[in-house]
């Protein structure tokens, strides 16, 4: 538990400055807008406890000087009662204040988190292409966390302490300005010492952060890549490398500690110097009859009290800088352009027939490198259109344009004659279902995974979808059946079974247009044939867009498009294309090189 104001808490937050500090501050304050009332109330309580904190030592001094020195028991009783009341009032206002401010901070944060999350759900897919997930996650977490620290430690503690500091300084000046000024000479020294240590500590902590990052990366790979490590017999090497990094991390931490552990003793020495100063100079004043003993005692209390707020102020300053920088990045996420808004007057797409048209479509992920050029084709309602071609030809990219994961650069994509940009995204996607190249399974139950696109589906419907893809018989052999909770990434299922789950999900969504991107690559051909048979009745009249490397998968397509270098270079049915003897025939030849064995099979079946 790091105490606020400790050197560690100062040094661990990387000093980062927001580029537009004023702007970010203004926006942060706007976030606080709904909480004006509790905050104003909190300010009131802060004032009360600050006044209390600065008045109390004065009362103690008064008791010693006047009541005790004059042997006045009644006056002492009165002073003590007042002191008691002051303390009680301070305690309750401290309680109220920390609830109001802390509570507001947590509410603002909770609010911000939800807004960030829904923003992330709305950002275009291309936003994530350039930002590795790990980075994005750790940055979001880190930035929200610095804000949390600012709210939790900074604001709650600092505000009160700072006001108290002002009160203390004023009280000291009022009590005896000479001794007060003498005592204040410690403050710049202390700030200087703090800055000195903080700078050194920051450098040291940069090193620890680096080594810690390496240790975490190693851990992550060590766990995620464990199967490869054991398969390639690399565990001993991994351990040696980890040991090295672990040791470097330890050493960096120890040397950082060397600096941080010197800090608090240094401050301690200073605080004693302060006490000595008060006793020395105050004593001299007293011997000259310019100061009473009670005032001296009050000063001794004050001097010890003003060290903490000064230290705190220094640390909160650093914290606030980082929080501003963090907020700037968070605001940048919140401000990022979300998926192009549905056009004004975008219509809700009703039930469609499923006629899919690409009209002179060109597309580039980044402007410098066109990926698709002038792609045109039409898939009549109920047809099966297949995309074939080499790795990297642009097949997945074509498929990505249909659910509008990306927006076309030129040309139009139409469904039943509606330009996709003129309909709402949600109504468009309701008509589609997609089985992506790499199946993604949630770590929920099998039933929930299958019903992801249709959460209100009954168990019968879920089972129906599983039956269609030939998964039902397997699922019922599992001890918990459909309620089996899948591990990370699908665990305990074979690779093909994972694809089948994703397939069942698409089937259950009951789409008008089905997009299959290598949906059966890991599935054996016999199972695939069974699926196709089942699908043919189920999806009768629906359009499908199928990508496959295995040509047997798409042989019966209504239309086969051969994609090469982002263009459609050949089109036609299987027989037409074979007869043509072009690129498709070549691909086909490679896969089914009619060796004698294959000839025999044909003859025998």
Partner 1 sequence: MAPPEPARDRRPDPRSRQAVLRAVKYLGQHRLDTAGALISLLLVAAANLAAPQVVRVAVDRGLAVRDWSVVELAVAGLLAIAVVRGLLTFLQGFLAERASQGVAFDLRDGLYARIQKLSFSYYDQAQTGNLLTRLTNDVEQVRTFVGSGVVQLAASLAMLLGTIVVLVRINAVLALAALGTVVPIFFVLRRFVKRVGPLFGQVQQSLGKLNTQLQESLQGLKVVRAFRGEARELAAYSAINDTLRDQNLESIKAISNSFPFVNLFANLGTVAVVGVGGVQIFRDQLTLGELVAFNSSMAFLLMPLISIGFLAAQISRAGASAVRVFELLDTPLELTDAPNARVLPPLQGKVEFRDVVFRYAGAEAPILKGISFTIEPGQTVALLGATGSGKSTIINLIPRFYDVTSGAVLVDGQDVRELTLASLRSQVGIVLQEALLFSGTVKSNIAWGRPDATLEQVKAAAVAAQAAGFIEALPQGYDTLIGEKGVGLSGGQRQRLAIARALLTDPRLLILDDSTSAVDAETERAIQRALDALMRDTKKTAFVIAQRLSTVRDADLILLLDQGRIVAQGTHAELTATSSLYNEILGTQLKGEGGAP
Q: 70-75: which pairs have CB atoms within 8 A and are 24 or more residues apart?
A: none
Q: Which of 173, 346, 551, 585 binds partner 1 (CB under 8 A)?
A: 551
Cβ closest to ligand ATP, residue 184 vs residue 405: 405
Contacts of 552 (CB under 8 A, 6+ apart): 525
Q: Which of 397, 431, 468, 543 binds ligand ATP (CB under 6 A)?
A: 397
Q: Does 437 bind ligand ATP (CB under 6 A)?
A: yes
Report the residue closest to ligand ATP, judged by CB: 496
- Going from the C-alpha of 428 to that of each of 242, 399, 432, the distances in angstroms are 50, 14, 7
Q: Is 508 helix (H, G, I), strand (E, B) or coil?
A: helix
Cβ closest to partner 1, residue 18 vs residue 399: 399
Give the phi and the psi of residue 387 in degrees, each rounded to 5: -110, 125
Q: Which helix (H) or strand (E) holds 254?
A: helix 235-287
Q: How far is the CB of 499 from Mg ion (least distance, A)?
A: 11
Q: Which of 6, 41, 47, 99 binds partner 1 (CB under 8 A)?
A: 99
For 287, the token pair is: 């011997």
Q: Name residues contacting partner 1, limited to 199-238 (CB under 8 A).
A: 215-217, 219-238
Burial class of residue 372 in the structure, from the number of CB atoms within 10 Å of its CB (0-12 exposed, 13-18 middle, 19+ buried): buried
Q: Which of 29, 30, 33, 71 binds partner 1 (CB under 8 A)?
A: 71
Q: How far is the CB of 407 from partner 1 (least distance, A)?
A: 14
Q: How far is CA 16 from the centre of its chain?
A: 19
Stretch that binds partner 1, among 18-26, 130-138, 315-323, 363-371 (CB under 8 A): 130-138
Cβ closest to partner 1, residue 458 vs residue 536: 536
Q: Does 404 bind ligand ATP (CB under 6 A)?
A: no
Of 396, 397, 414, residue with least CA distance to 513: 414
Q: How far is the CB of 391 from ligand ATP (least distance, A)?
A: 4
Q: How far is CA 85 from the centre of its chain?
A: 48
Q: Name residues contacting ligand ATP, limited to 525-564 (CB under 6 A).
A: none
Q: Which of 392, 489, 581, 589 binds ligand ATP (CB under 6 A)?
A: 392
Q: Does 107 bind partner 1 (CB under 8 A)?
A: yes
Count of residues binding partner 1 (CB under 8 A)? 188
Q: What angle do CA 22, 23, 29 make, to 5 degrees?
A: 90
Q: Which of 23, 128, 343, 347 binds partner 1 (CB under 8 A)?
A: 128
559-564 and 543-547 strand pairing: unpaired
432-435 and 418-419 strand pairing: unpaired
- The contact pattern for ligand ATP, residues 497-516, with x = CB under 6 A and - = no contact, is x-------------------
Contact 531, 470 (CB under 8 A): yes
**Residue 141 binds what, of ligand ATP, partner 1, Mg ion, none (CB under 5 to 8 Å, by partner type)?**
partner 1
Q: How far is the CB of 262 from ligand ATP (least distance, A)?
A: 51
- The contact pattern for ligand ATP, residues 197-216, with x = CB under 6 A and - = no contact, is --------------------
Stretch that binds partner 1, among 137-145, 162-170, 345-353, 370-378 (CB under 8 A): 137-145
**Residue 347 binds what, of partner 1, ligand ATP, Mg ion, none (CB under 5 to 8 Å, by partner type)?**
none
Q: Does 185 bind partner 1 (CB under 8 A)?
A: no
Contacts of 144 (CB under 8 A, 6+ apart): 109, 112, 113, 116, 326, 330
Q: Does 475 bind ligand ATP (CB under 6 A)?
A: no
Q: How far is the CB of 445 from ligand ATP (least distance, A)?
A: 15
Q: Does 501 bind partner 1 (CB under 8 A)?
A: no
Q: Which of 20, 268, 366, 483 binds partner 1 (CB under 8 A)?
A: 268
**Residue 239 binds what, of partner 1, Mg ion, ligand ATP, none (CB under 5 to 8 Å, by partner type)?**
partner 1
Provide, for the chain, the percentages of residues in helix, strand and coil under a 3-state DSSP scheme, each rounded to the nearest 5.
65, 10, 25
Q: Does 90 bind partner 1 (CB under 8 A)?
A: yes
Contact 328, 20 (CB under 8 A): yes
Q: Does 164 bind partner 1 (CB under 8 A)?
A: no
Q: Name residues contacting ligand ATP, limited to 336-365 (CB under 6 A).
A: 365
Q: How far is the CB of 351 from partner 1 (least distance, A)?
A: 16
Q: Which of 238, 257, 304, 396 binds ligand ATP (CB under 6 A)?
A: 396
For 125, the token pair is: 């897919």
Cα distance between the two ends of the chain: 75
Q: How far is the CB of 388 from ligand ATP (least distance, A)?
A: 9
Q: Which of 22, 30, 74, 265 binds partner 1 (CB under 8 A)?
A: 265
Q: Which of 102, 142, 464, 481 binds partner 1 (CB under 8 A)?
A: 102
Q: How many residues does the chain have?
A: 605
Q: Which of 56, 204, 379, 563 binds partner 1 (CB under 8 A)?
A: 56
Sign of the alpha-carbon dihedral angle for 241, 244, 249, 250: positive
Q: Does 260 bind partner 1 (CB under 8 A)?
A: yes
Give one DSSP letter per residue of 346-406, joined into a string. PBPP-S----EEEEEEEEEEETTEEEEEEEEEEE-TT-EEEEE--TTSSHHHHHHHTTTSS
Angle between the N-to-C axes of helices 177-184 and 235-287, in degrees from 0 to 180, rounded to the nearest 10: 160
Give the whole-angstrom CA distance, residue 456 versus residue 552. Answer: 36
Q: Which of 34, 73, 129, 226 binds ligand ATP (CB under 6 A)?
A: 129
Q: How far is the CB of 415 from ligand ATP (least distance, A)?
A: 20
Cβ closest to partner 1, residue 351 vs residue 605: 605
Angle between the N-to-C axes of helices 156-175 and 73-122, in degrees from 0 to 180, rounded to the nearest 10: 150
Of 432, 382, 417, 431, residue with least CA distance to 557: 382
Give the whole-angstrom CA distance, residue 602 versus residue 605. Answer: 6
Q: How far is the CB of 435 from Mg ion (least distance, A)?
A: 18
Q: Which of 6, 126, 437, 461 binds partner 1 (CB under 8 A)?
A: 437
**Residue 371 binds what, of Mg ion, partner 1, ligand ATP, none (CB under 5 to 8 Å, by partner type)?**
ligand ATP
Q: Does 337 bind partner 1 (CB under 8 A)?
A: no
Give the whole-angstrom CA distance, residue 38 versus residue 493. Answer: 53
Where does this chain bind ligand ATP (CB under 6 A)?
129, 365, 371, 389, 391-397, 437, 474, 492-497, 522
């Amino acid at each position: 538990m790091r105490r606020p104001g400790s050197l560690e808490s100062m040094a661990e937050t990387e000093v980062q400055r927001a580029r537009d500090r004023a702007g970010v501050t203004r926006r942060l304050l706007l976030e606080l807008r709904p909480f004006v009332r509790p905050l104003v109330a909190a300010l009131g309580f802060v004032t009360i406890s600050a006044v209390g904190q600065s008045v109390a030592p004065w009362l103690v001094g008064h008791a010693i000087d006047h009541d005790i020195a004059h042997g006045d028991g009644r006056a002492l009783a009165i002073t003590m009662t007042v002191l008691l009341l002051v303390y009680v009032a301070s305690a309750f206002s401290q309680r109220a204040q920390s609830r109001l401010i802390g509570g507001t901070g947590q509410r603002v944060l909770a609010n911000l988190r939800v807004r960030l999350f829904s923003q992330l759900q709305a950002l275009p897919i291309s936003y994530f292409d350039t930002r590795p997930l790990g980075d994005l996650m750790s940055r979001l977490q880190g930035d929200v966390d610095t804000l949390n620290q600012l709210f939790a430690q900074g604001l709650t503690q600092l505000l009160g302490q700072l006001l108290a500091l002002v009160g203390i300084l004023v009280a000291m000046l009022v009590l005896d300005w000479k001794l007060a000024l003498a005592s204040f000479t410690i403050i710049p020294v202390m700030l200087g010492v703090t800055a000195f240590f903080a700078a050194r500590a920051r450098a040291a902590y940069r090193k620890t952060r680096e080594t810690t990052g390496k240790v975490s990366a190693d851990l992550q790979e060590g766990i995620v890549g464990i199967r490869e490590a054991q398969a390639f017999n690399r565990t001993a090497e991994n351990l040696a490398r980890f040991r090295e990094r672990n040791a470097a991390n330890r050493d960096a931490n120890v040397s950082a500690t060397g600096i941080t552990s010197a800090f608090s003793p240094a401050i301690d020495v200073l605080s004693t110097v302060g006490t000595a100063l008060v006793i020395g100079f105050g004593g001299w004043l007293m011997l000259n009859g310019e100061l009473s003993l009670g005032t001296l005692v009050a000063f001794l209390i004050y001097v010890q009290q003003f060290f903490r707020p000064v230290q705190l102020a220094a640390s909160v300053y650093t914290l606030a800088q980082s929080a501003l920088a963090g907020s700037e990045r968070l605001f940048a996420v919140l401000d990022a352009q979300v998926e192009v808004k549905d056009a004004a007057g975008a219509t809700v797409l009703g039930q469609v027939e499923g006629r899919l048209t690409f009209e002179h479509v060109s597309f580039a992920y980044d402007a410098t490198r066109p990926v698709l050029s002038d792609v045109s084709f039409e898939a009549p309602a109920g047809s099966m259109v297949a995309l074939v071609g080499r790795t990297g030809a642009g097949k997945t990219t074509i498929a990505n344009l249909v659910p509008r994961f990306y927006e076309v650069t030129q040309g139009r994509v139409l469904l039943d004659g509606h330009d996709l940009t003129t309909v709402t995204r949600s109504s468009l996607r309701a008509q589609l279902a997609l089985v992506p190249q790499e199946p993604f399974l949630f770590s929920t139950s099998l039933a929930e995974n299958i019903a992801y696109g249709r959460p209100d589906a009954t168990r019968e419907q879920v089972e129906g979808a599983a039956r269609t893809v030939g998964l039902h018989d397997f699922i019922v052999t599992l001890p918990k059946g459909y309620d089996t909770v899948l591990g990370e990434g699908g665990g305990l299922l074979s690779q093909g079974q994972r694809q089948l789950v994703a397939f069942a999900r698409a089937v259950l969504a009951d789409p008008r247009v089905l997009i299959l991107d290598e949906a059966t690559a890991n599935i054996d051909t016999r199972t695939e044939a069974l699926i196709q048979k089942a699908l043919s009745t189920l999806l009768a009249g629906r359009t499908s867009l199928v990508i496959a490397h295995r040509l047997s998968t798409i042989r019966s397509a209504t239309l086969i498009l051969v994609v090469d270098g982002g263009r459609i270079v050949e089109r036609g049915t299987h027989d037409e294309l074979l007869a043509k003897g072009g690129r498709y025939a070549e691909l086909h030849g490679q896969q089914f090189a009619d060796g004698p064995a294959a000839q025999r099979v044909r003859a025998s079946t």
